[in-house]
A = this chain, B = another copy of it.
Amino acid sequence: MTVTAAQGFRAAGVAAGLKSTGAPDVALVVNDGPSSAAAAVFTSNRCRANPVLWSAEAIKTGSARAVVLNSGGANCYTGAEGFQLTHATAELVGELLSGGGSEPRAEEEPGGGSGPRAEEEPGGGSGPRAEEEPGGGSGPRAEEEPGGGSGPRAEEEIAAIDVQVCSTGLIGLLNDRDDLLAGVRAAHAALSDDGGAAAAAAIMTTDTVPKQSVAEGTDSAGRAFTVGGMAKGAGMLAPALATMLVVVTTDADVDAATLDAALRRATRVTFDRLDSDGCQSTNDTVLLMASGASGATPSVDELAEHLTTVCHDLALQLLADAEGADHEISIEVRGAASEDDAVEVARSVARSNLFKAAVFGKDPNWGRVLASVGTTSATFDPADLDVALNGVWVCRDSGPGEPATSVSLEDRAVSVTIDLKSGPETATVWTNDLTHAYVHENSAYSS
């Protein structure tokens, strides 16, 4: 259990035929409330995929009732048709969760009466949910059918804007509309309280294992709450910028502003410091949804603590599953004048192909570390730097220190420590080595 570890969530993962392998490729995570508060962070790439364009607007409501994710295609730079497909996907999820949309896929009209899947509607017969719906108001779900011919959309029904969308796969590839929408219906039909694992599997691309994590916390009144998450992609961000997608759920009862603050605090020191190959995806999304079902009301600090635990755990799982990597490298910068300086220096080393190739070759080439440090604008004295590899201070005061021959790079875990001797701040960035397998997998992906 992951995204379904927290109370109030159901999830599913199904195979819709988007992947030629027949592996699961559509996931759905639904927040059954009572709250639907949500927050998200997205790629800072200015070239953003259609689902990011959609979701970044939709999240401005501070609310999300569901997120639908597909692998097998990034829906990025696919033109107007691509955006329409993202919108249609969100719309269909809204309809299904509102009790509609369940016709055979050949017709695909929005709305329509409830069908055999009516028993899977969220909040069916539950009181608390109805009170939390955006716009207030409540009523029998069966009467809340959206759009299509069956009357004006009621304010309380679940609309497209309540649905976040994530996609991952090749840029420029538009998924088959019928296949994707059929997959959404199948995922809706498969929703269950323990569907987290299936959802985590369905968002995988070249991931070899699904990534999931759970943490438990208590608020100041001693009420327990759960934070659970799933992630895909990352490490090398291979192939084809296949994207880091992360969904985290919690049953804490907090508002969107609290979620947003806690999420940004957590991602800033976890996912934002995972820099496998310096290539930034067009589709990255980290979504946090809160059901409020636990009744716990943690503060930003309390929530951020456990959220950071989950995000850190997921980030390291992504790092460890990076395609083709032989080493996980943590780069800690100490003695920085500012945290920004520390991150800039660590990131510059994380992006040095020469250093990363050296680690692959188990070559303790500390000169390549210094050469990267020197490209930054951080505060330091070039004549007074220390560098350690796996704890061996091979460079002291900008000169040779302990013999590099005493450094072993046999283990997967490699630590680089850089002391700028310029202040009290520190930061760690994680990356991988540059391997033949990275080149292979990224040269052979779409062709």
Contact = CB atoms under 8 A, between A and B. Distances in A.
Contacts of A279: 352-354, 368, 371-372
Interface in A349-378: 351-354, 357-358, 360-368, 370-376
A443 B399 contact: no
Contact of A282 (B47, B172, B370, B434): B370
A371 B277 contact: no
A442 B354 contact: yes
A405 to B, nearest CB: 9
Contacts of A404: 172
A238 B365 CA distance: 13
Given A370-B282, A371-B241, A443 B74 contact: no
A238 B354 contact: yes
Given A279-B354, A373-B47, A365 B240 contact: yes
A20 interface: no
B436 A363 contact: no
Nearest to A397: B79
A80 B400 CA distance: 11
B374 A282 contact: yes
Highest count of chain B CB atoms <10 Å: which of A78, A280, A282, A371: A371
A395 interface: yes
A241 to B, nearest CB: 5
Contacts of A395: 77, 172
Interface in A408-433: none
Contacts of A435: 439
A297 interface: no
Contact of A370 (B170, B171, B372, B447): B171
B240 A367 contact: yes
A367 B447 contact: no
Interface string A392-408: 00010111100010000
A333 B47 CA distance: 16
A48 B438 CA distance: 31
A444 interface: yes
Contacts of A400: 77-79, 172
A391 interface: no
A170 B400 CA distance: 12
A404 B447 CA distance: 10
A281 B241 contact: no
A326 to B, nearest CB: 10
A280 B47 contact: no
B367 A172 contact: yes
A395 B362 CA distance: 41
A445 B365 contact: yes
Nearest to A352: B279
Interface string A26-70: 000000000000000000111110000000000000000000000
Interface in A307-339: none
A351 B444 CA distance: 19
Interface in A223-282: 237-241, 277-282
A7 B29 CA distance: 77
A105 interface: no
A151 to B, nearest CB: 36
B280 A374 contact: yes
Nearest to A387: B77
16 contacts: A47-B370, A47-B373, A47-B398, A77-B395, A77-B398, A79-B399, A80-B399, A171-B367, A171-B370, A279-B354, A282-B370, A354-B442, A357-B438, A363-B445, A363-B447, A435-B439
Across the A-B interface, the 7 shortest Cβ-Cβ residue pairs: A171-B367, A361-B443, A47-B374, A79-B399, A357-B442, A363-B447, A45-B374
